[in-house]
Chains A and B, each alone.
Chain A
Amino acid sequence: MTSITPLNKSSKQSVSSFSEPPHKEEHADHRLFGLIAFLVADGMTFAGFFAAYLTFKAVNPLLPDAVYELELPLPTLNTILLLISSATFHRAGQALSQTKAKECQKWLLITAGLGFAFLASQMFEYFTLPFGLTDNLYASTFYALTGFHGLHVTLGALMILIIWWQARSPNGRITNENKFPLEAVELYWHFVDGIWVILFIILYLL
């Protein structure tokens, strides 16, 4: 074999072999595994932020004139909203396995609604807090952590709306046979929810 021409030949050969269907050996779906690995990576980003915050807390005293106070009621409400949304998403998945498309859509819409309610409530908290992003170290860390988490919630809520849209039409793309998109977003949503619980404990309760 010579170098350049066989490259062409071999690739042409197999391009033509793609049009025939010889490779029926579909292997199992590993996308969920890949997603879990991605969520581990994403979780490590949060772990880095948490570690930074806890170290700041242990080592760096609040500067004398700095304002950093958090109220509990609103974030508690937020926690409840997210926990309920995890449950409603679970219901949506159950409905899909029972091929109840309408019910699945209903639960998805409720979940997205809870997600957006969380974001609105978070926004309200941002606007009523007595400190801004650059006021002091703790204020910056607070906004960085909740903001990064809020970004995750925003992406998640948008993805829920997308799969709701895809499950909507009668021969929609998301069915009991093709439920990976729903499973993936559900796993992601539970992950974001879990991160919030840790964040709530570290940021508000400790």
Chain B
Amino acid sequence: MTISIPPSTKNKPERLQPTGWLRYFSFSLDHKVIGIQYLVCGFIFYLIGGALASAIRIELTSPVSDFMARDVYNQVLTLHGTIMIFLWIVPVVNGAFGNYLIPFYVGARDMAFPRLNAVAFWLIPPAGLMLISSYFINGAAQSGWTAYPPLSISTPAAGQIIWIISVLLLGGSSIFGGINFIATILKLRRPGLQLMQLPMYCWAMLGTSILVVLSTPVLAGTLILLSFDIVAHTGFFNPTLGGNVIVYQHLFWFYSHPAVYIMVLPAFGLVSEILPVHSRKPLFGYTTMVYSIMAIVVLGLMVWAHHMFTSGTPPWMRLFFTIATAFIAVPTGIKFFNWVATLWGGRISLNTAILFSCGFIINFVLGGITGVALAQVPFDVHVHDTYFVVAHFHYIVYGGSVFVIFSSIYHWYPKFTGRLLDEKIGRLHFAITFIGFNLCFAPQHWLGLNGMPRRVAEYDPQFTFVNQLSSVGALLMALSTLPFLWNIFYSAFKGPISGDNPWQALTPEWLTSSPPPVENWIGEAPLVTKPYGYGQNAGGEPQSTSEGET
């Protein structure tokens, strides 16, 4: 549904839209189709990025570079990082679930700008294909996902330029998506629905979209300057021509630290939807949750230089960014306690969705604690650019965001398809993922503390055993996708019929058929003012008080 196209042209595009499975390959304007497009496209890139990660871990089973040449290793790790961030986590936690759920949550029939929405999605596949094809043309970029100059200026130019163009396209896609989410949440709310009655995922997406709109353009501008340095031999970030590499780092992290929140805030929102449903309790501390999301948005824009403590930052800057980063642990901690309090005393059905959510909580605490440690200058200076950092951010982005993505897929799969996923295979998937993930990344803390640098194909032989242990974990993670893929495909055709609302959930997306009709509701959109009112009308349930305790 479009907004103000005159009625004569209004029917035309929709009638041309294919139906059935073909619409997933079309320029569809339906937010649900676009959401699934994001999800499936992102998952394909996850498999590619995962294959690259496996290649990295195979290489690191021995201390010499025998599996790949050194420059190939650099290309593989650059592609791995870029794909996982820009083509898997960001599009899926924002684009996929955001597009599918936000219009339901605000009581709208589509996003505010459906065409812009479709454009935002269709920027992603060409950007991703271009990025991957650069490996086969002239070698992919070699300077890591951060593309720090002077390294990115001195490595082969073709791959780096293709990398910049794809990241610019993906950034554009992200900005278009962000504008759309802000407009949808703020402007398209059903009459009578207050902001403070919205499900938490809306708040998370609002905060994330503000970060996207404010910080992604800075990355775009920076990468344009970097491409000038590479193509036209200007000297913005080239010290030999009088330029300044530190300016690049500041501008880059001004985007890329908020990017962490762009990856993890929507995951916070999704977990806040899943936990109340499966523990049959209202979300604990709704108001504090909203304020902590907004606090994270504000603080998230002011902590970027904690990535640069070893870049010769002056003492006052180190002090400021250490304190600001320590502050950000407070709202994050509030959210953590809210989730635990939501689970506390609930009637928890221990299904795959909540297992992955609980896995997220455990992993995220570990990743959060190492994050607070890394924000302290005296500690950071020692472990900077070691495997400790690698372990830390994988606990955040994999143990955090990816666990939530899986949790969300198990939770919303009945909504997408009308069928349930197999719980036994699901639990197997969770068990292998959880064990594999921790086996892969927990030892890397030790490696980093003992001084193993990241992004290097070769290492001191004393680290061999622990690296092999980590690689076994990576193998388990790779294997864990097999039961998941089987589950997804088998259940799409043979899974038990779920009915419209298999979880007895109260959020608006479940108050329609599963899968929903094109315009979401046959009649009027329902007005859901208490999306977390579990156990409140059942009478005598002890857990109905938590909302007032904030």
Contacts and interface: CB of A to CB of B under 8 A. Distances in A.
B133 interface: no
Nearest to B218: A48
Contacts of A148: 221, 224
A137 B243 contact: yes
Interface string A133-176: 11011001100100010000000000000000000000000000
A116 interface: no
B20 A11 contact: yes
A49 B495 CA distance: 54
A16 to B, nearest CB: 10
Interface stretch (B1-9, B134-142, B539-547): B1-9
Contact of B235 (A33, A59, A136): A136
Given A4-B493, A34-B116, A37-B179, A137 B241 contact: yes
Contacts of A31: 3-4, 113
A1 B25 CA distance: 24
A204 interface: no
A134 B235 contact: yes
A7 interface: yes
A56 interface: yes
Contact of A44 (B188, B214, B492): B214
Interface in B12-29: 14-15, 17, 19-21, 23
B1 A137 contact: no
Nearest to A43: B217
A74 interface: no
Given A15-B19, A18-B14, A34-B180, A52 B247 contact: yes
A184 B243 CA distance: 38
B228 interface: yes
A3 B417 contact: yes
B244 interface: yes
A128 interface: no
A71 interface: no
B183 A37 contact: yes
Chain B interface category by residue count: 35 or more
A29 B233 CA distance: 46
A42 B178 CA distance: 13
Interface string A31-61: 1011001101111111111011001100110
Interface stretch (A20-28, A119-127, A195-203): A20-28
A21 B175 CA distance: 33
Nearest to A20: B11
B254 interface: yes
A14 B517 contact: yes
Given A11-B20, A26-B4, A27-B188, A63 B518 contact: no
A96 to B, nearest CB: 17
A59 B11 contact: no
B220 interface: yes
B242 A136 contact: yes
A39 B337 CA distance: 38
A126 to B, nearest CB: 15
Contact of A13 (B188, B236, B517): B517
B454 interface: no
Given A14-B517, A18-B14, A136-B241, A40 B233 contact: no
A131 B221 CA distance: 23
Nearest to A59: B244
Given A14-B517, A41-B179, A60-B243, A51 B3 contact: no
B179 A38 contact: yes
Contacts of A33: 112, 183, 186-187
Interface in B194-228: 213-218, 220-222, 224-225, 228
B19 A3 contact: no
A47 B215 CA distance: 10
B513 interface: yes
Given A12-B19, A44-B218, A56-B247, A1 B418 contact: yes
Of A37, A55, A59, A180, the most chain B CB neighbours within 10 A belong to A37
Contacts of A141: 236
Contacts of B283: none
A55 to B, nearest CB: 5
Contacts of A28: 187
B373 interface: no
A48 B20 contact: no
A23 B15 contact: no
B299 interface: no
B538 interface: no
Nearest to A8: B20
A66 interface: yes
Contact of B518 (A4, A11, A133, A144): A11
Nearest to A7: B515
A48 B254 contact: yes
B216 A41 contact: yes
A43 B126 CA distance: 27
A52 B4 CA distance: 40
Interface string B475-492: 000000000000000001
B188 A19 contact: no
A73 interface: no
Of A10, A17, A136, the most chain B CB neighbours within 10 A belong to A10
Contacts of A27: 3, 188
Interface string B238-261: 000111101100110010000000
B280 interface: no
Contacts of A44: 213-215, 217-218
A3 B19 CA distance: 14
B518 A1 contact: no
B523 to A, nearest CB: 10
Contact of B217 (A10, A13, A26, A42): A42
B109 interface: yes
A137 B216 contact: no
Contacts of A49: 221, 225
Contacts of B23: 11
Given A55-B244, A66-B242, A148-B224, 12 more contacts: A4-B21, A19-B15, A26-B4, A30-B188, A31-B3, A33-B112, A41-B178, A41-B179, A56-B244, A59-B247, A136-B235, A140-B235
5 contacts: A15-B17, A44-B214, A51-B250, A56-B247, A137-B236
Interface of B: 1, 3-4, 7, 11, 14-15, 17, 19-21, 23, 109, 112-113, 116, 175, 178-180, 182-183, 186-188, 213-218, 220-222, 224-225, 228, 232-236, 241-244, 246-247, 250-251, 254, 417-419, 492-493, 495, 497, 513-519
The 6 nearest A-B residue pairs measured at CB: A14-B518, A48-B218, A140-B234, A45-B217, A44-B217, A48-B221
